[in-house]
Amino acid sequence: MAQFEEVSQKSAVHPKPVGLVLQYGTAGFRTNSKQLDHVMFRMGLLATLRSKKTKATIGVMVTASHNPEEDNGVKLVDPMGEMVTPAWEGYATQLANAEQEELLTALKDIIERETISMAQEASVFVGKDTRPSSDSLSQAVLDGVHALGGHNYGLVTTPQLHYMVCCQNTQGRYGEATVKGYYRKLSQAFIQLTKNVPNRTDDQKALLVDGANGIGALKVCEMETYLKNELQLSLFNDGSSGKLNHLCGADYVKVQQRAPKGVEMTAGERCCSYDGDADRIVYYYSGSAGRFHLLDGDKIATLISTYLKELLSRHTHSSVFPDTHTHMRSVLTSPLSSQVIVRCTKTGVKHLHHAAQEFDIGVYFEANGHGTVLFSKAAEEKIQKLAQDSNTNDERRRAALLLQNTVNLINQTVGDAISDMLLIEAVLAIRGMTVQQWDAIYTDLPNRQLKVKVADRRVIDTTDAERRTVSPAGLQEAIDSRVKKYRQARSFVRPSGTEDVVRVYAEADTQESADALAHEVSLAVYRLAGGVGEEPKPL
């Protein structure tokens, strides 16, 4: 076939380094950008096959999110804007690791297994972030797409690409499949939500935003005019100078528990940080004594959950209302757990997303600030019917209209820093809450997150939604013995989904104890799970 001849020709331009093995993880492929050219070409091929199989538009996003600027990565987006299915994750790994002379065989194997008609037209949307390597790597994706039949969106945030894939595949029912369509839908919903809030001052409309020197900074600038001064943003780390995610961004703020470089806060001023591809967000502020206060994904989930619960309680026909979380979170022992259903899952957005889909309304956030709200089709129809029912009393109708605009403000396809920021700002305005009042909904135990480099992250195996380890032998016992030394203490470890590191979380009654516990558990991981490099040092 002529198509396969073109694949062979273009594959030679994007050769695979002999012996290199990569794994499609929770965030797709992610590593140093110099190792990814062949992977990008092959993911272009795979996305085209996926499009032919599903008879729908598939997305490919070139990004490494919160990783350093020298890294890059790629992930596929399925028809409704969700992560690609596990079987196709396997195909991605198979295709990426096939040696050069085996590529056509691997490709034909997927076509045969999935009974794909190569005559079927394909549609692929390709997006990229602002990394220096993203131009050439996204071109490699396009080479793969063109070798088998696609469309390039250029510079977009990861959530915008997910959104536009969903719009395209719902024939516009979810929205207009353009960046401007995204801006219009979200900004109109935000303005509708906040227009009836009495006496909003300029201080209440003001927000400091750290763009992580990434794509989110460019896109939120473009969106500002659509917001008509209903939100007044002061943008820092906008990409005009400084490296992507270096001393800034959501991951830096979350792990270091300090403000990013260049952001000077006055007491009580609301600030937020995106990550490099704008699918995570965390908030923070400085207290009157200069103490740094972080409002991470757990605090965000609590704010949104209690707001939705309050609106639903105004209806006699309220939906089942859950809140879905990963386990490494103090929020599970907060007052929230008595107000909503809390479900534990393995860490990772795809696990959270699927669990949240089981309910009429599902709120999920990882502590790192990645999350969103999902509404079932039945819940959306019920909300729309109540909002349009002229016989509904005024209070219930107002609540229904607020819910309807809340649905429109949320990017249900994936966590989205811009959408989540607008939702948080709207909720704070509607409830008349300051950032301090939000923070006081519950109190986090002092905690610390650390990373331990290991030779192979797969030596760590976990159970009980990743709350306990089953291998290597002796590690869980070592963790348990160290936890017993401290008051109100917990600690968990889990392998990263994208790199050979083990993530360590610890909490205790004081910050000193949390730091000490995190260090002791890190040492146990280093010694029992094949740590590499220097032994972890005390904080």
| 255 close to 449: Cβ distance less than 8 angstroms | yes
| Confidence band of 322 (pLDDT split at 50, 70, 90) | very low
- Choose among 221, 15, 26, 230: nearest CA to 130: 221
366 known ligand binder? yes
- Model confidence at 186: pLDDT above 60: yes
237 known ligand binder? no
Last residue of one domain, picked from the residues 295, 330, 350: 295
Q: Are residues 90 and 129 in the same domain?
A: yes
Compute the CA torsion angle 172, 175, 181, 187 (nearest 10 deg).
Answer: 160
65 known ligand binder? yes
Average of pLDDT values for 118-126? 90
In which domain, by residue range, is 122 found? 2-155
480 known ligand binder? no
367 known ligand binder? yes
Q: Are residues 37 and 70 in the same domain?
A: yes
Q: Are residues 6 and 129 in the same domain?
A: yes
Would residue 234 count as lying in a domain?
A: yes
The span from the CA of 328 to the CA of 507, in Å, is 10
- Model confidence at 285: pLDDT above 80: yes
Q: Are residues 284 and 319 in the same domain?
A: no
Would residue 162 count as lying in a domain?
A: no
- Model confidence at 2: pLDDT above 70: no
Strand partners, 324: 343, 364
Q: What are the pLDDT digits (tens) for 238-264?
A: 999 999 999 999 999 998 989 999 998
Q: What are the pLDDT digits (tens) for 30-67?
A: 999 999 999 999 999 999 999 999 999 999 999 999 99
The position carrying tokens 């290199």 is 20
Q: What is the chain's mean pLDDT, rounded? A: 89
Would residue 169 count as lying in a domain?
A: no
494 known ligand binder? yes
CATH number at residue 513: 3.30.310.50
CATH number at residue 141: 3.40.120.10
Q: Are residues 335 and 469 in the same domain?
A: no
Would residue 173 count as lying in a domain?
A: no
User: How many helices and strands in the chain, by DSSP H and E?
Assistant: 18, 19
Would residue 149 count as lying in a domain?
A: yes
pLDDT for res 318: 41
Would residue 64 count as lying in a domain?
A: yes
- For β-strands 271-274 and 206-210, DSSP reports them as parallel
Q: Are residues 504 and 461 in the same domain?
A: yes
Q: What are the pLDDT digits (tens) for 329-364?
A: 323 333 444 455 566 656 666 666 666 676 788 888
Q: What are the pLDDT digits (tens) for 428-483?
A: 999 999 999 999 998 888 989 899 999 999 999 998 877 899 999 999 999 999 99
Q: Are residues 71 and 119 in the same domain?
A: yes
136 known ligand binder? no
Average of pLDDT values for 26-30? 87
Q: Tell me which range, 14-18, 397-401, 416-420, 492-496, is most confidently predicted by mean pLDDT.
A: 416-420
pLDDT for res 166: 95
Average of pLDDT values for 197-214? 93
The position carrying tokens 């039945």 is 378
More confident residue, 200 or 417: 417
Q: Are residues 352 and 463 in the same domain?
A: no
| 126 close to 144: Cβ distance less than 8 angstroms | no
More confident residue, 2 or 165: 165
326 known ligand binder? no
Q: Are residues 271 and 224 in the same domain?
A: yes
Q: Are residues 26 and 69 in the same domain?
A: yes
Q: Are residues 269 and 204 in the same domain?
A: yes
pLDDT for res 321: 38
| Confidence band of 519 (pLDDT split at 50, 70, 90) | very high
| 325 close to 466: Cβ distance less than 8 angstroms | no
503 known ligand binder? yes
Does the active-site annotation cover 65?
yes
The span from the CA of 147 to the CA of 151, in Å, is 13
The position carrying tokens 């797409």 is 145
Last residue of one domain, picked from the residues 155, 189, 209: 155
- Model confidence at 150: pLDDT above 60: no
Centroid of chain to Cα 459: 26
Last residue of one domain, picked from the residues 295, 325, 358: 295
- Tell me the whole-structure pTM to 2 decimals: 0.82
The span from the CA of 420 to the CA of 347, in Å, is 20
Would residue 167 count as lying in a domain?
A: no
pLDDT for res 313: 79
Would residue 218 count as lying in a domain?
A: yes
Q: What are the pLDDT digits (tens) for 293-314?
A: 999 999 999 999 999 988 887 6
User: Residue 472 half-sphere exposure, CB side, CA atoms within 13 Å?
Assistant: 15
212 known ligand binder? no
Query: What's the total number of domains in the chain?
Result: 4
pLDDT for res 332: 33
pLDDT for res 267: 93
Q: Per the residue annotation, which of 33, 51, 65, 513 is the catalytic one?
A: 65
Q: Are residues 334 and 472 in the same domain?
A: no
| Confidence band of 212 (pLDDT split at 50, 70, 90) | very high
Phi, psi of 402 (to 5 degrees): -60, -45
